[in-house]
C-alpha cells in the first residue's frame, strides 16, 4: 500500500468511524491519526488495517476495532501525566495510543508470543514509557499500584477485584463487563471509595482468561 493510500484510509477512519460517532477528544483523535495501525496487524491484513472492525492477530486473539479503541481511550480522560495499567496487550496498538496520551503505561498479556511481538513494534516506534509484562492480568500489578487509570481489553467474567483495589481514588477503569460472548463497555470511577459506573456501548471482546476471569 502506498503512503497516500494509507493517509486516505486514516482520514476516513477519523471522519466516518470516529468523529461522526462522537469521538471529540482532540488528543485522542491526534493519537489515532499518528499511531501506524498497519504495523500492529498481521502482514496479510495491512491493506485493511483501518477497516471498521476488529482483525485477527496471532494466538487466536484480535486487535480491537478503531472506534472501540478511541471510545475506551476517550472514557479514560487522560491528561498526560497518568500511570495506566492495561490488561490484554494483544497487538500493542491500544498500548501505543495510551503511551501517546499518558505518562506511563504498564501492560500485561498472558501470551508471551504476543507480548514479544508487541514489544518489538513498540520499541521500533520509539515508545519508552511502556512496560510490558507476561502474566495473568486479572491479578493486576500489586507492586506498581495504585493506578490512576485501568483499561481491560478482554471480556470480563466479573470485574476483577484486584483491579478495583488497585484503582486510585478519583481513578477510572474501563472494561467490557460482564459476559463471555457479549458485553457492555463500562467506565467505573472511584469516588470516596465508592464505585460509580456508566455504560458506553455494547461490545464483543475475546475472553479474559485467568484466576478472576474465564477458564480456558
Ligand atoms: N488491546 C488489544 C486487544 C487484544 S485482545 C489490541 O487491540 O490489540 C485481548 C487480549 O487479552 C488478548 O491478547 C489475550 O491474550 C489477552 N488476555 C486474555 N486474558 C488475559 C489475562 N488474564 N491477562 C492478560 N492478558 C489477557
Give the model confidence (pLDDT) of 138-197 as tens digits.
999 999 999 999 999 999 999 999 999 999 999 999 999 999 999 999 999 999 999 999
Strand partners, 188: 173, 197
Provide the pLDDT for residue 140.
98
For the chain, the C-alpha Rg in angstroms (whole number) is: 16
Q: Nearest-CA neighbor of 98 among 72, 124, 117, 119?
A: 72
* Contact 90 CB / ligand 1 (< 6 Å): yes
Chain-centre distance of CA 168, in angstroms? Answer: 19
Say yes or no to pLDDT of 199 above 90: yes
Tell me the per-residue pLDDT of 103-127, one tens digit each, with 9 for 90 and over: 999 999 999 999 999 999 999 999 9
Residue 204 has pLDDT above 90, yes or no: yes
How far is Cα 74 from Cα 29, in angstroms, rounded to an integer? 9
Q: What local confidence, expressed as pLDDT, does residue 143 receive?
A: 97
Instruction: Assess contact for 66 and 90: CB atoms under 8 A.
Output: no
Ligand 1 pocket check: which of 72, 90, 210 to mutate, most ligand atoms within 8 Å of Cβ?
90
pLDDT band at 1 (very low <50, low <70, confident <90, very high): confident
* Domains of the chain: residue spans and CATH: 3-203 (3.40.50.150)
Name the nearest CA neighbour of 88 among 18, 192, 168, 174.
Answer: 174
Q: Which three cell numbers stand for residue 50?
A: 483501518
Q: Decide the pairing of beta strands 55-56 and 130-134.
A: unpaired
Whats the size of the chain, residue-wise?
216
Q: Are 80 and 103 in contact (CB under 8 A)?
A: yes
Indicate if ligand 1 lies below 6 Å from the C-beta of 37: no
Amino acid at each position: 500500500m502506498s503512503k497516500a493510500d494509507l493517509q486516505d484510509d486514516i482520514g476516513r477512519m477519523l471522519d466516518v468511524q470516529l468523529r461522526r460517532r462522537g469521538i471529540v477528544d482532540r488528543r485522542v483523535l491526534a493519537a489515532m491519526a499518528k499511531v501506524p495501525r498497519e504495523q500492529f496487524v498481521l502482514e496479510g491484513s495491512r491493506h485493511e488495517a483501518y477497516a471498521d472492525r476488529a482483525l485477527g492477530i496471532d494466538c487466536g486473539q484480535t486487535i480491537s476495532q478503531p472506534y472501540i479503541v478511541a471510545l475506551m481511550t476517550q472514557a479514560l480522560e487522560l491528561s498526560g501525566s497518568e500511570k495506566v495499567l492495561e490488561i490484554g496487550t494483544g497487538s500493542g496498538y491500544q498500548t501505543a495510543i495510551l503511551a501517546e496520551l499518558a505518562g506511563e503505561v504498564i501492560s500485561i498479556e498472558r501470551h508471551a508470543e504476543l507480548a514479544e511481538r508487541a514489544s518489538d513494534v513498540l520499541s521500533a516506534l520509539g515508545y519508552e514509557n511502556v512496560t510490558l509484562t507476561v502474566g495473568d492480568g486479572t491479578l493486576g500489578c500489586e507492586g506498581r499500584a495504585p493506578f490512576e487509570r485501568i483499561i481491560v481489553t478482554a471480556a470480563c467474567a466479573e470485574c476483577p477485584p484486584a483491579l478495583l483495589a488497585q484503582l486510585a481514588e478519583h481513578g477510572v477503569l474501563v472494561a467490557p463487563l460482564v459476559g463471555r460472548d457479549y458485553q457492555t463497555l463500562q467506565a467505573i470511577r472511584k469516588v470516596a471509595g465508592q464505585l460509580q459506573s456508566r455504560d458506553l456501548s455494547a461490545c464483543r471482546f475475546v475472553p479474559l482468561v485467568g484466576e478472576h476471569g474465564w477458564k480456558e
